Amino acid sequence: MPQNKFPNMFQRKALDLINDLIPLSESVFFLVEPDMHHRGAVVYKSGSDIEKQYEATYRKMDPLSPERFSHTDDRVVTLDSQMSPHLLKQTIYYQEFMVPNNHRYVADMFFRNNGRIIAALSMLREEEMGNYTADELKLLCKLQPFLEYSLNAVYLPHRNAERSSITDKYALTERELDVLELLLSGSSNKEIAGDLGLGLATVKTHLHHIFQKVSVQSRSELVARVLLDLQA
Judged on CB neighbours under 10 Å (0-12, 13-18, 19+), 32 is: buried
CA distance 40 to 178: 7
- Give the residue from 221, 232, 226 showing the smallest Cα distance to 6: 226
- Give the residue from 61, 77, 20 showing the smallest Cα distance to 44: 20
Provide CATH 1.10.10.10 ranges for the chain. 162-231
CA distance 29 to 34: 17
CA distance 105 to 81: 11
Kindly state which CATH superfamily the domain 3-145 is placed in.
Transcription factor LuxR-like, autoinducer-binding domain (3.30.450.80)
Provide CATH 3.30.450.80 ranges for the chain. 3-145
pLDDT tens track, the chain, 232 positions: 333 444 577 898 999 999 999 999 999 998 888 877 777 788 887 665 677 788 788 988 999 999 999 999 999 999 999 999 999 999 999 999 999 999 999 999 999 999 999 999 999 999 999 999 999 999 999 999 999 999 999 888 887 888 888 988 999 998 999 899 888 877 889 888 877 778 899 999 999 999 999 999 999 999 899 888 877 6
SS3 78: strand
CATH number of 162-231: 1.10.10.10
Residue 2 confidence (pLDDT): 37
